Amino acid sequence: MLSKLQFDILYFLLKKNFSSSPSQRELSETFSVSLGKINSCLKELKSSDLINSELCITENGKQALLPYKVQNAVIMAAGMSSRFAPLSYEKPKALLKVHGEILIERQIRQLQEAGINDITLVVGYMKEKMFYLADKFHLNLVVNEDYYRYNNPSSLMRVVDKLKNTYICSSDDYFTENVFKPYVYQAYYAAVYSPSKTDEYCMKANQKGKIISVSIGGQNAWYMTGHVYFDQEFSRNFIRLLQQDYENPETKTQLWENFYMRHLNELALYLKPYPAGVIYEFDSLSELQKFDQSYVENVDSDIFQNIQKILSCNAKDIQQIEPIKAGMTNTSFSFLCAGKKYVYRHPGVGTDAYINRKGEAWAMHVAKELKLDPSFLYMDEKKGWKLSSFINGAKAMDYHNPSQVERSLEMVRTLHAYPKKSPYSFDIWKMIHSFTSQIEQKGRDHFEDYQTLYKRTKELYVLAEADGVPKCLCHCDCYDQNFLADENGNLFLIDWEYAGTADPAWDLGTYLACSDYSLGQAEKILSIYLQHEPNKKELCHYFAYTSISAYYWFLWAIYQESMGKSVGEYLYIWYRYTKEYGNIAWNLYHSDRNGDETNETAN
């Protein structure tokens, strides 16, 4: 194995065309080492027949460099880049143009200019927009279907057979100069120095440059940014450890850098410093705007054009963009325009399969008319995007705040009393069938009482429909998180995606199914809504729908988790309420049979 200085000199001699041999002083200045060390190193290279007396690299010297030759590159381009709202909602961040060049195309060209032509591109999010790159640049293309539920270790798992002497690149990096070399001495992570506080992954290295610690956040520190280089030894160890540890949920859901941090002592990686102004990673549109002024005046984005049209503003007026934590069905961001804050809602991929956007738009106009959601400004019923005023100090309603509960139920009554029926209905049983079909296709129906739950819910639905309760306009997602209280205590009913004509008990059922109320408290909620003590027939009907609602949301939750979106404790809550309220309703419906209550249950 060559020493670092031996490698540097051999590579220097390999890539340079000299009219005359370089002097030892020139080599000393180039590598910032003493003349004595240069002299000693040259003697070693000559004695090993790696260079000749004229300081030209020999065939043996070229052979000695072969273990350090870069064999290929992997570009990871599967992620959604959710922080880069709103541009990443429309296309992969890698396809943005920066100073007239598409980010990923610039990086591919830089790799190829360095003689690296074996390039593998891992795609996932909006993958079809990236397919053209395979033919244009003669790339290998690998699809990561887990991009939406797992982090970038899932991309690396798909290319373990490619990991050798390999550059690992992020598709959205911008290098002002070509950082790629055809020969590299050792595995490294590119680093830039931050004198101020940063939230990046900060590294400390020993005197030889080997990384000995990594922390998230720091100051006066070198932080990870840009590309990484795996050498053969690092790749072997990394593959072994990743394959051993991949089924650990922590490994799948975190960045590969977190995995590396846990195996720091087993994976030798060196810090490679770069000066400021060479490597750029754009984490937000505002960062890109600082680097490329064209994004200030003219943003190539349908979303920006939508906002400009509705608010009659210019692109430069749309400022302080902040992604809002993605919901289960949509992504959103807030922004400032002319001193006022707004929210833009972008429909999630695939949501058209179970959300009627025309029905939502119709209901939104009613919600504004009834002052249930005065924040609503505009919705495109074809494309599904929506613009609203930002609700300052917004907090979800408290199920145990009496005034908020009474106000929220008053809002539900107001909605149900609206004289017009929506031209769009919400057929809960049709939706239940849709989810059961999808769940069964994904093999998520294999649990003990799956069929029992379905059978009991169907029986309750038939009984509830026979009650003949008139249908009305319903919100159909009526729970605490959709009742927002602003800083002045005003309540807003938001998120009308499922709204349509339905049984009013559907709204009350969801309200109860998402709460932690006892049976007695649930009856009290019904009395507040009905404005009288519920009779037995009403208890039968509303508790049946609480069970049906819980079952619907239980199926919805299984479907979401099959798509990689964690629902958390609600999955069990809805399972439990399906059974508990189902048993209560069943017994109430059958309590007059033979003059006594049955004890039939769904257990």
Specify the domain boundaries for CATH 3.90.1200.10 within the chain. Answer: 394-595
Which pLDDT value is given to residue 598? 42
- pLDDT class for 81, splitting at 50, 70, 90? confident
pLDDT at 148: 81
Please give the pLDDT value at position 330.
Answer: 67
CA distances from 42 to 45, 51, 190, 264, 551 (A): 5, 8, 29, 35, 77
Alpha-carbon separation of residue 301 from 96, 97, 454, 480 (angstroms)? 10, 12, 45, 34
Predicted confidence band of residue 596 (pLDDT cuts 50, 70, 90): very low
Q: Which of 348, 224, 200, 359 is nearest to 279 (CA)?
A: 224
Write out pLDDT tens, residues 255-268: 999 999 999 999 99
Alpha-helical regions (H) of 225-301 = 232-245, 249-253, 256-262, 285-291, 294-297
Residue among 227, 319, 289, 308 nearest 96 (CA): 289
Low-confidence winner among 15-19, 143-147, 153-157 (lowest mean pLDDT): 15-19
Closest CA to 168 of 57, 176, 158, 262: 158
Fold of 301-390: Phosphorylase Kinase; domain 1 (3.30.200)
At residue 599, the pLDDT reads 43
**Antiparallel, parallel or unpaired: β 491-493 and 483-485:** antiparallel
Which pLDDT value is given to residue 351?
A: 62
pLDDT at 344 over 50: yes
pLDDT tens for 40-57 read 999 999 999 999 998 999
Residue with tokens 């000559």: 46
CATH, range 4-66: 1.10.10.10
Average of pLDDT values for 356-374?
94
CATH number of 72-281: 3.90.550.10
Report the pLDDT averaged over residues 454-469. 95
- Cα distance between residue 587 and residue 600, in whole Å: 7
State pLDDT tens for residues 206-254.
Answer: 999 999 999 999 999 999 999 999 999 999 999 999 999 999 989 999 9
pLDDT at 392 over 60: yes
Lowest mean pLDDT among 30-39, 61-70, 324-333: 324-333
Task: Examine the pLDDT at 597 and tell me if it is beyond 50.
Answer: no
Q: Check pLDDT > 80 for residue 592.
A: no
Contact 272, 188 (CB under 8 A): yes
Per-residue model confidence (pLDDT) at position 549: 97
Residue predicted with more confidence, 221 or 565: 221
What per-residue confidence (pLDDT) applies to 356?
85
Residue 294 confidence (pLDDT): 86
Specify the domain boundaries for CATH 3.30.200.20 within the chain.
Answer: 301-390
At 411, is the pLDDT very low, low, confident or very high (cuts 50, 70, 90)? very high
Q: What is the pLDDT of residue 325?
A: 67
Q: In the prediction, which pLDDT does 441 show?
A: 84
Contact status, residue 38 vs residue 27, Cβ threshold 8 Å: yes
Domain limits, CATH 1.10.10.10, in the chain: 4-66
pTM, whole model, 2 decimals? Answer: 0.79
The answer, yes or no, to whether residue 593 has pLDDT greater than 60, is: no
Q: Is the pLDDT of residue 278 over 60?
A: yes
- Using CA atoms, how far apart are residues 116 and 111, in angstroms rounded to an integer? 5
Residues of the chain with CATH 3.90.550.10: 72-281
Class of CATH domain 394-595: alpha beta
Rounded (10°) angle between helices 570-589 and 504-513: 130
Would you say residue 484 has pLDDT above 50? Answer: yes
The answer to whether residue 587 scores a pLDDT higher than 50 is yes
